[in-house]
A and B are shown apart, each in its own frame.
Chain A
Amino acid sequence: MRINLIGFGVIGKGFARALVRKRTWLREKYGFQPEVVSISDVTGTVVSEGGLDLEKTLSSVERTGRVIDCPGAEEMTGLEAIREVDADLVVEVTPTNVDTGEPGLSHMLTAMEAGKHVVTSNKGPLALEFKRLTETAKKNGVHLKFEASAGGAMPLINLANEILSGDEILSIKGILNGTTNYILTRMTKEGTGFESTLREAQELGIAETDPTYDISGSDTAAKLVILTNAIMGKNTTYRDVKIEGINRITPEAIALAKEDGYVIKLVGTVENGELEVAPKLVPMNHPLNVDGTLNVATFQTDLAGEITIVGTGAGAMETNSAILSDILSIFRNSRG
């Protein structure tokens, strides 16, 4: 299988590392021999029709931080690479944008129109144009898979749609953002204020320099939309979600909740067609009460009752567990 890799940041590099690490294992276990034929970032693209030497590309980009500095790299954009470099599948891991969905939206549409499968961790395009994307996939007879976009390593979409395919999923509730969960956990354990705890999380590299997207609830909302559409067959968008972030939570509120047997968590819920992201009082003995950067989601189903999954919602290797599983499922399906 030949792959165009679009985006070479945390997740893109993690993908290359995972392939290097598991090359032999993938071949022996599945007879799967993926070749990355192009890698693009904002600065340019490296191409090798026969498959790039991933270790060389990784060490070159680690030195200079730019794909364009790799030997033989061209000033070719990601979009051009998708159009011009022959491949079966595009791994789209550029930054999420929940206003326009770009550049990911154009990358995905172009890829599918060119008959290429798409595997992505990019939430923006899916949270805005889910229907258009899935219809484009269908029309062109290709697969679009995005397990990594909602819940990182937690296999939520595949669990609901494959393993629980005889159940109807009635509601989804989850903690889908590790940064906010970390901040609230620390505030609960240490009794500290929001601002100082956020700064601590930034120093540890858990929160971004601009943490708005996480703490405002936007990231959780984008993931909730993807889960709702993919699992419950709905056609919602990011704009349908009622969103409330965690920036007004006080240590006093957390202490009052604690005295009464509750913790405060940022929870995304979809129930009776309503999508909401808001801090909620969660009973301490409830399965959603997970600590630190962990994520969790509970499905209420008609036959199985409640099913809860806990796992890591982000991280280079964890997220690539989902990306690789999507690619392997396409590989198995397209071999017939």
Chain B
Amino acid sequence: MRIGLDIELKDTPGQLVRALEPVSRLGGNIISIVHIREELTKKGRVPVHLTIDIENDGALERIIKELGERDIWVSKVGEVKKKERMKVILIGHVVDTDLRDTIDRLNEIPGILVADMALSMPNPQQETSALMDIEVSRPEKAKKAISELERIARDKGLAVIKSLGV
């Protein structure tokens, strides 16, 4: 599971390393660290946001306990829902049929975000192929995104290649 941890460090050198050591030692895989030195808390501590992947609750509890023993305060712990990614390919006059509108129509659906796109255009007369990377907040949202894409594709004469499993 993926965990978000808000911790508060003393404002002295070497504190971040001291905080990360038990995390890795107890099997946590550190995904990201956001460390803002300029923004001290009211108590004069440095807030840090950690995202880690960890096998089970037991390991998480031991990490929190060890952090406490090292005078590292844990102010918030929570599971982070992983975003699902879904790839789709569109073939046709993807750009000429108002690509902006295609993306907007998808982004209007709550929980759906077109996160990335790669285009390949052999020449202006021929059809364009586009690989879309769509972020969905929950797996059920993938079906919503697909049915909207299929509606758009019908309107605009595009072919849709979905991922296996949606």
* Contact flags A235-265 to B (C-beta < 8 A → 1, else 0): 0000000001000111111011101101010
Give Cα A288–Cα B165 distance, bound, in whole angstroms.
Answer: 12
B64: interface (CB < 8 Å): no
Q: Flag if A267 contacts B164 (CB, 8 Å).
A: yes
Q: Flag if A281 contacts B163 (CB, 8 Å).
A: yes
Contacts A256-B131, A257-B89; A283 near B164 (Cβ below 8 A) = yes
Q: Flag if A281 contacts B129 (CB, 8 Å).
A: no
Q: Flag if B159 contacts A244 (CB, 8 Å).
A: yes
Nearest CB in chain A: distance from B103 CB, A = 17
Q: Flag if A253 contacts B164 (CB, 8 Å).
A: no
Question: In the complex, which residues 71-110 of chain B have their Cβ closer than 8 Å to any Cβ of chain A?
Answer: 87-89, 91-92
Q: Flag if B91 contacts A249 (CB, 8 Å).
A: yes
Q: Flag if B161 contacts A255 (CB, 8 Å).
A: no
Q: Flag if A260 contacts B159 (CB, 8 Å).
A: no
B118: interface (CB < 8 Å): yes
Q: Flag if B87 contacts A255 (CB, 8 Å).
A: no
Q: Flag if A252 contacts B122 (CB, 8 Å).
A: yes
A286: interface (CB < 8 Å): yes
Give Cα A256–Cα B133 distance, bound, in whole angstroms.
Answer: 12
Q: Flag if A257 contacts B131 (CB, 8 Å).
A: yes
Nearest CB in chain A: distance from B98 CB, A = 20
In the complex, how many residues of chain B place their beta carbon closer than 8 angstroms to a beta carbon of chain A?
A: 20
A278: interface (CB < 8 Å): yes
Give Cα A267–Cα B163 distance, bound, in whole angstroms.
Answer: 11
Residues of chain A contacted by B164 (CB below 8 angstroms): 173, 267, 269, 280-283, 286, 288
B151: interface (CB < 8 Å): no
Give Cα A57–Cα B105 distance, bound, in whole angstroms.
Answer: 65
Residues of chain B contacted by A257 (CB below 8 angstroms): 87, 89, 131, 161
Contacts A279-B161, A280-B164, A286-B164; A262 near B87 (Cβ below 8 A) = yes
**B88, B122, B129, B164: most-surrounded residue (chain A CB, <10 A):** B164
Residues of chain B contacted by A281 (CB below 8 angstroms): 87-89, 161-164
Nearest CB in chain A: distance from B160 CB, A = 8
Contacts A257-B131, A281-B162; A250 near B91 (Cβ below 8 A) = yes
Give Cα A255–Cα B89 distance, bound, in whole angstroms.
Answer: 11
Give Cα A282–Cα B164 distance, bound, in whole angstroms.
Answer: 6
- Within 8 Å by CB of A252, from B87, B120, B159, B162, lies B120
Nearest CB in chain A: distance from B94 CB, A = 11
Give Cα A269–Cα B126 distance, bound, in whole angstroms.
Answer: 31
* Contact flags B128-146 to A (C-beta < 8 A → 1, else 0): 1111000000000000000
Residues of chain A contacted by B53 (CB below 8 angstroms): none
Residues of chain B contacted by A252 (CB below 8 angstroms): 120-122, 128-129
- Show 13 residue pairs from A and B whose CB-CB distance is below 8 angstroms, ordered by the A residue: A248-B91, A250-B122, A250-B127, A252-B120, A252-B128, A253-B161, A256-B89, A257-B161, A259-B131, A262-B87, A262-B163, A280-B164, A281-B88
A positions within 8 Å CB-CB of B: 173, 244, 248-253, 255-257, 259-260, 262, 264, 267, 269, 278-283, 286, 288
Q: Which 3 A-B pairs have the closest CB atoms?
A: A252-B120, A253-B129, A252-B129
